[in-house]
Structure 1
Amino acid sequence: MTDLADIGSDVSHVERMVETRLPTAHGEFKAVGYLDSRWGHEQVALVYGEIAGTAPLTRLHSECLTGDVFASTRCDCGDQLAAAMRKVVAEGAGVIIYLKGHEGRGIGLLAKLAAMRLQEDGMDTVEANLALGLPVDARDFGVAARILHDLGVSEVRLLSNNPDKLESLRRNGIRVVERVPLLVQPNDDNLPYLRTKRERLDHLLPHLA
């Protein structure tokens, strides 16, 4: 097992705890569980196929209970996760890191629900977070880079529309050799959310009308 303390500063708080096979509707992954003792978050990387010595297709997926579990149509999170799993399996190898502590762009579930309520009154997601006195985006993607280092991955093809993820990986020693778009079909409920991501958060979403 890689000693994360040897990779760089402030990394020893991420420890690999367990790994096991995880059969899914999309294919069989290896689930590798990590403990981030700094925040108490339990993180998981889904590894498909042989990734050693490659730049695997890689998705950093932020936790979203409403989208991933309850299939809410107010966001594209659940659709993106399913699409990412399909793409990784189709590639024959890849990594999906599911990031706990990222609910509502890092503000937490209850605050996210409060922000949703403000959106019903006409605010966008940025305005709603600020109205609650919370950051627009409080997520830290550094833990994902530490997990990739532990998996022996130093370069990736990043499956993302979010430029912050790309820059964070680069700052943390992961080379991004290609950014692969992850575009899902919008619906009436999530189109305003997606437009806010494009227009105010610089996400690359060229498929939006």
Structure 2
Amino acid sequence: MPWDARDTMSLRTEFVLFASQDGANIRSLCRRFGISPATGYKWLQRWAVEGEPGLQDRPRTPHHSPNRSSDDVTALLRMAHERHERWGARKIKRWLEDQGHRMPAFSTVHNLMARHGLLPGTAPGIPATGRFEHDAPNRLWQMDFKGHFPFGGGRCHPLTLLDDHSRFSLCLTHCTDERRETVQQQLVSVFERYGLPDRMTMDNGSPWGVP
């Protein structure tokens, strides 16, 4: 059942006091108080930042508002992180969207998770550098060979080509070598299908390190 409207502030205060104790089982407390984990983490977040005033209701914003409250998003991220502690920002974002939640851009999700210590191997309070991302497809493509391994009596050299903005895989194919001619042949096929990018980036190794 939802919060009792007769004493909402007392219930919220009681919840955050219990949930703030060391070793508290947040999901169990949410069931006990009849609220969702996302709601529980939202009140914990507001309590930690604002104290008791943060537990008061706020004016509702339109569902489509681009300025969705960051503490609401953080509450969802905390809930997802509790279920999937080893997941990074991209998988968490996709999982929450699959659950029907509207999420901000990947860079915002990544920064919020880093700020609150929700990324694997991070701690709260460490500022996130984020990842530079071009603002439209075909602005920058990233190309790389992902090692090589024995295959069919020869060797397989996986060639990858990724659009920086959308993270769409433009090409993932096996090559028998890493020669310039082999790469050019694959690029011609990609260019014919997706057009030309403004720029491409790759390391300085063979074959693209040669003029």
Q: Which TM-score tier does this pair reach, normalised by the shorter chain? A: under 0.3
Structure number having the greater strand percentage: 1
Larger relative contact order (Cα-Cα within 8 Å, sequence gap ≥ 6): 1
Relative to the length of structure 2, the TM-score reads: 0.26
Larger radius of gyration: 2
Structure number having the greater helix percentage: 2
